[in-house]
Amino acid sequence: MHSPFGLEGKRILILGGGLGIGESTVRLIAEHGAHVAVVDRELERAQHVAGEIGGGAKAYCIDVLDDEALVAGIAQIEREFGPLDGMATVIGMAAWGSLIEIDMATWDLDQNRNLRYFFLAAREVARSMIDRKVAGSIVCVSSVNGIRSAPNHGAYGAAKAGLINLVQTMATEWSPFGIRVNVVAPGPIITPRIPHTGEEGERKMMVNVPMHRRGTTEDIAKAITFFLSDLSPYVTGQTLAVDGGSLATNPFIPLAEGHIPSA
């Protein structure tokens, strides 16, 4: 039976594919038949993930904060791995501190590792697709903190908000070439950097989230896969919040605890 995902044989680049959300995305799209170029700043992590997937995956190491290395790395991937049909980027990190205290080097770092590298990578992939006259899909990971305020990590929030606006412009400019660009905005997610804190800790942490739990890296991978796949052929320039309902809450009305199903 033909898969509705339409990923069989597609060549997809995942920047940040060696860990967490990126690793889950690599595994999921590979299950649906995609060939995956797994990029990580640590080659061993990328090799581990690619090795477990098998022949349809290849590992690469690229420093996405180095403009020349990023452009050259994408060109190398297209030469060795093959011309790309899609890309997802999951790299990002927040520096913590108030806006009053933040120094400009930290501000610039958060813009570079959350926003700037995505612009450069997406432009390179889009240029290739346009030159080859092929359609494709590009996905980035923002955050609910790019939609609402981001107290004590304002540089990160500003960069993630920039991603949402940038994607809307990319979608507008590149749609005539058949290139779709979309955003996944995670809410509270259990990741290797922010692990599970135990049942009591999680309960207290998620008291204001309607689903009363944190999401998983697989939850975000499913949303990325949706945008990469043929399940979203008429969707571009959109931001999908995967946040357990946290953006829907009213801060003045407490949530009822109720009975929370396991999934």
- Cβ contacts of residue 183 below 8 Å, gap of 6+? 139, 140, 141, 142, 163, 164, 167, 238, 239, 240
156 catalytic per annotation: yes
> What CA–CA distance (Å, rounded) separates 226 from 148?
24
Coil vs helix vs strand at 5 = coil
- Cβ contacts of residue 50 below 8 Å, gap of 6+? 26, 36, 38, 57, 58, 59
Q: Tell me how crowded residue 5 is: count the other CB atoms within 10 A of its CB.
A: 19
Q: Which amino acid is present at 234?
A: Y
DSSP 256: P
Q: Which amino acid is present at 98?
A: S
Strands 11-15 and 35-40: parallel
* Residue of 60, 117, 156, 234 with catalytic role: 156
- Separation in Å, CA 208 to CA 146, 203, 213, 247: 19, 10, 10, 10
> What CA–CA distance (Å, rounded) separates 227 from 220?
11
- Extract the tokens encoding 98: 């108030």
Catalytically active residues are: 156
